[in-house]
A and B are shown apart, each in its own frame.
Chain A
Amino acid sequence: MKLLNYTTTYFSGILLVLISIWAVVFYYAMFDEIYDSIDDGLDNRKMVLIARATKDPNLMQKPQLDEYLYTIEKVDFKNYRGFKDTYNDTLMYMINEEDYEPVRMLESVFKLNNEYYKIKVATSMVEEDDQIQNLLKYTVLLYAALVISILFLNNFFLRKVWKPFYNLMAQLKTFRLEKKQSITYTPTKIEEFTLLNNSIEKLLQKTQESYEGQKQFIENASHELQTPLAIAINKLEILFEENELTENQAEQLQQALENLERLKRLNRSLLLISKIENDQFQEKETLDLKSLIEEINADFSEMASHKNVLLHFSAEDKVFKNMNPDLAYMLFSNLIKNAISHGNSGTDILMELAEKKFSISNFSDSDSLEKEPVFERFQKFNGSKNSTGLGLSISKSISEKYGYALNYSYKNGQHIFTLNFI
């Protein structure tokens, strides 16, 4: 749920409670004020009537409320003494409304010429139920107006305010460290967003620096290792050439040499990966993939026949891709080499090339590697001790560089690598 909607929901809830309370309070306050005003009016009329009654004794005996809405009656002293003015709500038939409507009535007493009188004055009242209905109607209207204004605010004003945030998020979503992307920060007056922008800018800068540093380190380290490795290998080779070794010595030295060679290959692969990731293979040309793969198959034919696997290659003509020739060779040769070294003796290796994809499969005893990180560096399966564990990782890096998708799948004992060109 978006923060905007979330707060809006809360606001609506709180407003509902607040406005209901406000409506009740307002109702009572308003009625209090109305009664006060009506009562004042009644009191005033009472005094006017008493003053008139003093001059006109005919008025002194008026038991019916009739159209003048008052009565005067003579009462005993005991009814007079201690009588307090009372204001009451009562009902009266109204001709216009054709119904009993509420009226306010003042009852009071007064003394005139040693006689005691009781006076009742009435006036029509606001209709309470009508009033409540009105109040409810206008409260609901107010509530709706408030909620609509909040929604309006959110959608137009707040959305504008939150723009730098959403802009940043949209960029972070597609951000990839290895692509050296830069993020544009929307300038904003809001302190929190400025803080967020600055923090993310700093964080990304540091991450990028350490990522670059790490890549550079691998490249420098493997570069620095090359010379001592070359010297060591060459010294051993010279020793062999001097023809003065016993067979046992030669065997020991050969093992040392083989390990140095392995180190050399490992180092070369690391250097290659960092070169790919550092984008040092810029040159591109249009390559005929069919003849490239045929060439690689020819290079590997001895290895394949030694392993007793058969290479089958079927291809559509004219599959041309714009790639760096060295990288293309490495991409396909690593996949083919991988299939040959893991394929069971006496089985076939099937390769298919089409405009949209290349696939290669081999049969092997090992179970599906679908759950294994086959493209991770230094992953070795089936104990291939001469492998650097970097071949597939290199292929993956190269395919990613060209935006191709390299995937592994397993079906009926067949390990399949598929390279999708789109």
Chain B
Amino acid sequence: MKILIVEDEPQMLENMAKTLKAEAYIVESAASFKEASQRIGVYDYDCILLDIGLPDGNGLELLKTIKDKGLEDGVIIVSAKDSLDDKLQGLDLGADDYLPKPFHMAELRARVKAVLRRRNFEGQNELQIGNVSINTSNRTLFIEKEEVDLNRKEYDVLLYLASNKDRLVNKTALAEHVWGDNIDQADSFDFIYSQIKNLRKKLETHKADIEIKAVYGIGYKLQNK
């Protein structure tokens, strides 16, 4: 899997590259509009992370070029502006997703994986870990080919943790992903625990190959048993 990060802020770029490299992706980067358009012209990418606020041009122009050329690259727009206009325009132009800055690394990983899944399995959106299979098209969970009932939030928590398998996911990142940005101030997110508890119970009774581990009260980690 080859990913291009277009980002002019060097440390931001470094963080994103490091996180994605840890997932064993091939990561390339471009720090300017010019560099990015050269790379896009020459190489194919599975996913492009596109900062639209570049010093020498608007990232949306790059998106237009990609779509005009009929390239198959998945594109996630990254924007510090968090403006609805950018989002709508980006999605209209054919971007796969829109990620407002600042974002959590876990969120980045989940979004990239979602785009890659959609690109590479063409509708066959399935996340398979051992005997656990999450179907992201129908939002269903199968353990040993047996369907397990999950409510909306349990499903969201499971998919998010599974997308960040073997990584410590901070409670804040998990809460913001599942309950939205507006969930701030919520008494240190302890209410997440009850969702995790239910989920653990379901995984256990169906003898799943995975488990959800609490790490120092900081967050959770999904890993193989």
Contacts and interface: CB of A to CB of B under 8 A. Distances in A.
| A joins B in a complex | yes
B194 to A, nearest CB: 6
A302 B170 contact: no
B151 to A, nearest CB: 10
A258 B185 contact: no
B148 interface: no
Contacts of B16: 234
Contact of A235 (B15, B84, B173): B15
A387 to B, nearest CB: 4
B68 interface: no
Interface in B36-83: 80-83
Name the interface size band of chain A.
35 or more
Interface stretch (B98-106, B125-133, B137-145): B98-106
Interface in B160-187: 167-168, 170, 172-173, 179-187
Given A299-B180, A341-B185, A230 B190 contact: no
B9 A231 contact: yes
B12 A254 contact: no
B187 A341 contact: yes
A386 B183 CA distance: 11
Contacts of B216: 247, 250-251, 254
Name the interface size band of chain B.
35 or more
Interface string A283-320: 10000000000000001101101110000000000000
Interface stretch (A95-103, A134-142, A204-212, A329-337): A329-337
A103 B167 CA distance: 131
B153 interface: yes
A305 B191 CA distance: 8
A302 B194 contact: yes
B188 interface: yes
Interface string B208-225: 000000011111000000
A392 to B, nearest CB: 12
Given A302-B191, A337-B182, A234 B153 contact: no
Interface string A133-159: 000000000000000000000000000
A246 to B, nearest CB: 10
B15 A240 contact: no
A302 B15 contact: no
A386 B80 contact: no
B101 A306 contact: no
Interface in B90-116: 101-106
Contacts of A240: 168, 170, 218-219
Contact of B181 (A227, A268, A307): A268
A306 B191 CA distance: 5
Contacts, number: 118
Interface string A333-355: 11001000100000000000000
A238 B170 contact: no
Contacts of A229: 102
Given A226-B102, A227-B9, A229-B102, A337 B185 contact: yes
Contact of B185 (A283, A302, A386): A386
B18 to A, nearest CB: 6
Interface in A214-230: 223, 226-227, 229-230
Interface string A81-96: 0000000000000000
B184 A388 contact: yes
B192 interface: yes
B80 A387 contact: no
A374 to B, nearest CB: 16
Contacts of A254: 170, 216-218
A341 B19 contact: no
A294 B184 CA distance: 19
A227 B183 CA distance: 22
Contacts of A74: none
A238 B19 contact: yes
Contacts of B170: 237, 240, 254, 257
6 contacts: A227-B102, A234-B19, A235-B11, A237-B104, A237-B105, A386-B186
